[in-house]
Amino acid sequence: MNYVFTGPESSGKTTLAIAMSEKTGGEYVPEFAREYIQKLNRPYEQKDLLQIAKEQFRLHELAKKRGSNLLFDTDLLTIKIWSEEKYKDCDPWILAKLNSNKDFIYVLCKPDFPWQFDPQRENPTDQDRLFERYEDELKKLQLNYVIAQGSLKERLQMLISF
């Protein structure tokens, strides 16, 4: 199966995607935004989100050509929500490519544990609202999704038995 791990920051997306990769032997495709922002010597701007989106999309398309059992740590849905939350709009290119992983199962990670600081994180107080926003977007786009909640072990068990 192919998965996209999505949800608010500090909801366990990366941890779960890596654990699933190790458990299933699937190919883990990391979130490009982390690498991009870490290399910037300035605060990111809205135009950076388009560059991040294009490279994330390229990495996803390359992985799809290699085969199945892919585990994407985020995709364009996250970038869309991030852009709209911070800048109140989203680049048309991102919106046009948004359904590129329509055949994947989206794993919406619930932020049901304390937020953890990371220099790239910006939303420590509104995880629940953002979780609802992600779920609303998944429904609006008619994407197949499941909610991952609880401990890492519980989340893994749910996905393995899915």
Domain of residue 31, CATH code: 3.40.50.300
Element (H, E) at 129: helix 127-140
pLDDT in tens, the chain (162 residues): 899 999 999 999 999 999 999 999 999 999 999 999 999 989 999 999 999 999 999 999 999 999 889 999 999 999 999 999 999 999 999 999 999 999 999 999 999 987 676 666 666 778 999 999 999 999 999 999 999 999 999 999 999 998
Q: Which domain holds residue 55?
A: 3-161
CB-based burial label for 106 (10 Å; 0-12, 13-18, 19+) = buried
Q: CA angle, 69 as apex, 68 and 72 as ends, to 5°? A: 105
Number of domains in the chain: 1
CA angle 158, 1, 94 (to 5 degrees): 105
Statement: the pTM of the whole predicted model exceeds 0.95? no
